[in-house]
Amino acid sequence: MTKTRSIIRGVGGYLPEKVLTNAELAAMVDTSDEWIQQRVGIKERHIAAEGQYTSDLGLEAAKKALEASGVSADDIDLIIVATTTPDYTFPSTASIVQMKLGIHHGMAFDIQAVCSGFVYALATADSYIKNGLATRALVIGAETFSRIIDWTDRTTCVLFGDGAGAMVIEKAELADDAPEQGVLASALRSDGHHWDKLYVDGGPSTTGTAGHVHMQGPEVFRHAVGKITDVVYSTLDKAGYTVADLDWFVPHQANKRIIEGAGNKLGLPSEKVVMTVDIHANTSAASVPLALSVAVADGRIKSGDLVMLEAMGGGFTWGASLIRW
Ligand code: UT7
């Protein structure tokens, strides 16, 4: 007998060239490098160039993930893009990435779960693979959040950045007694009663405009650590592991204090926590795969490591995925 698993073939990340520093932001709104670093832990963020769209960022990350995987675009039969900032209302950004990669077959669609988007997309791709609907998937988190920011609102404009991350996962039939590999367990949650604590005041059906981000920051913060730790414990339970088994924790990069709070509550040593919020800021659905791509590229995450991904954001949505690398 065998068991079907989605194994990780490779990851890649892409950041647009332009860097926006805290000092530059302090010249735009009433803020300071000191406040941003102390309260959030961000030093700088990347901003997409004019004419550079979410699909362009996603495409670059996808190319890097394909290269790292040794998989050709032609072998991909599922593309999921997690994004809150699609190029167009429709078609999906995934369809555009598919076209730019020259792929004519398989499936492509977007997932909208805001900052939890990548974790939702990975769990979805894993389910498609396990159910026989797909064999090799490109899972992308890509955002041009700078386009939905009110650049006069200091409570939100200092927090976000643009970027993309991608992962190639592939169906593997492992012998029943073979060591575990790939996506071991995922847990996804949402509670729409919190929708207006973090939302955009526009959309095709309401205003006909894209709108701007609004957030009750302290309210989101208040919920974050508890929800993150709950879903991490559920995911570990499902797979029969404990926090002590984890080699790496790769959380959504919204705020250094939230990441440290969750890490402490879980009892994880800080050396096991991947932190990129200082150089990426909050890139929403791109944040987890971007952080992963950094920790894989610098050699921290290695084959055989047990890795916990986690995210929480608008909706509220939250979720986690446990991976044997
Ligand atoms: O990715 C989705 C999930 N998102 C999150 O997880 C974000 C969660 N929330 C947070 O990370 C934090 O709540 C923020 C970073 C957004 C804000 O930090 P905070 O420690 O909760 O600050 P606060 O909103 O309570 O504001 C404290 C003070 C206020 O001034 P007063 O009323 O005490 O005089 C704000 O007006 O800081 C002020 N403030 C700022 N000062 C300088 C707010 N934004 C800024 C700013 N620069 N950019």
Average pLDDT over residues 245-267: 98
**Burial per residue of 125-141, b for 16 or more beta-carbon CB atoms within 10 angstroms, e otherwise:** bbebbeeeebbbbbbbb
Distance CA 232, CA 12 (A): 24
pLDDT interval class at 289 (50, 70, 90): very high
User: What's the pLDDT at 264?
Assistant: 98
pLDDT at residue 169, rounded to an integer: 98
Does the annotation mark 115 as catalytic? yes
Which tens digit of pLDDT belongs to each residue from 123-161? 999 999 999 999 999 999 999 999 999 999 999 999 999
Confidence of residue 90 (pLDDT cuts 50, 70, 90): very high
Q: Of 139, 152, 147, 160, which is closest to residue 69 (Cα–Cα)? A: 139
Percent of the chain with pLDDT over 70: 100
Compute the distance from residue 217 Cα to the ligand 1 centre, in Å: 6
Per-residue confidence (pLDDT) for residue 141, from 0 to 100? 99
- Calculate mean pLDDT across residues 85-105: 98
Q: Which pLDDT does position 282 carry in this prediction? A: 98
Active site residue: 46, 194, 252, 280, which one? 252
Q: What is the pLDDT of residue 178?
A: 94
Question: Is-catalytic flag, 22?
Answer: no
Q: What confidence category does residue 206 fall into, taking pLDDT thresholds of 50, 70 and 90? A: very high
> How sure is the predictor about 303, in pLDDT bands with cuts at 50, 70 and 90?
very high
**Nearest C-alpha neighbor of 61 from the set 88, 84, 75, 81:** 81
Tens digits of residue pLDDT in 23-43: 999 999 999 999 999 999 999
pLDDT band (50, 70, 90) for residue 320? very high
The predicted pLDDT at position 64 comes to 98
Q: Which residue out of 25, 37, 39, 190 has the highest number of ligand 1 atoms within 8 Å of its CB and is therefore the one to mutate?
A: 39
Enter the tokens of residue 198. Answer: 């973090």
**Residue 39 near residue 138, CB atoms below 8 Å:** no
Domains of the chain plus CATH, in order, are: 2-175 (3.40.47.10), 182-324 (3.40.47.10)
Looking at residues 251-262, what average pLDDT do you find? 98
Residue 185 Cα to ligand 1 midpoint, Å, equals 34
First-residue to last-residue Cα distance in the chain = 23
> What confidence score (pLDDT) does residue 262 get?
98
3-class secondary structure per residue, the chain: CEEEEEEEEEEEEECCCEEEEHHHHHCCCCCCHHHHHHHCCCCEEEECCCCCCHHHHHHHHHHHHHHHHCCCHHHCCEEEEECCCCCCCCCCHHHHHHHHCCCCCCEEEEECCHHHHHHHHHHHHHHHHHCCCCCEEEEEEEECHHHHCCCCCHHHHCCECCEEEEEEEEEEEEECCCCCCEEEEEEEEECHHHHHHEEECCECCCCCECCCEEECHHHHHHHHHHHHHHHHHHHHHHHCCCHHHCCEEEECCCCHHHHHHHHHHHCCCHHHECCCHHHHCECHHHHHHHHHHHHHHCCCCCCCCEEEEEEEECCCEEEEEEEEC
Region 162-190 average pLDDT = 97
Residue 58, both tokens? 């996603």
pLDDT at 314 (0 to 100): 98
Mean pLDDT for the chain? Answer: 98
C-alpha 156 to ligand 1 mean position (Å): 8
Report which ligand 1 atom has the smallest distance to the Cα of 158: 48
Residue 214 known to be catalytic: no
Q: Residues lining ligand 1, CB < 6 A?
A: 31, 35, 39-40, 115, 154-155, 158, 217-218, 220-221, 224, 254-255, 258, 282, 313
Ligand 1 atom 46 nearest Cα: 31
DSSP bridge partners of 160: 282
Q: Which of 288, 268, 266 is nearest to 277 (CA)?
A: 288
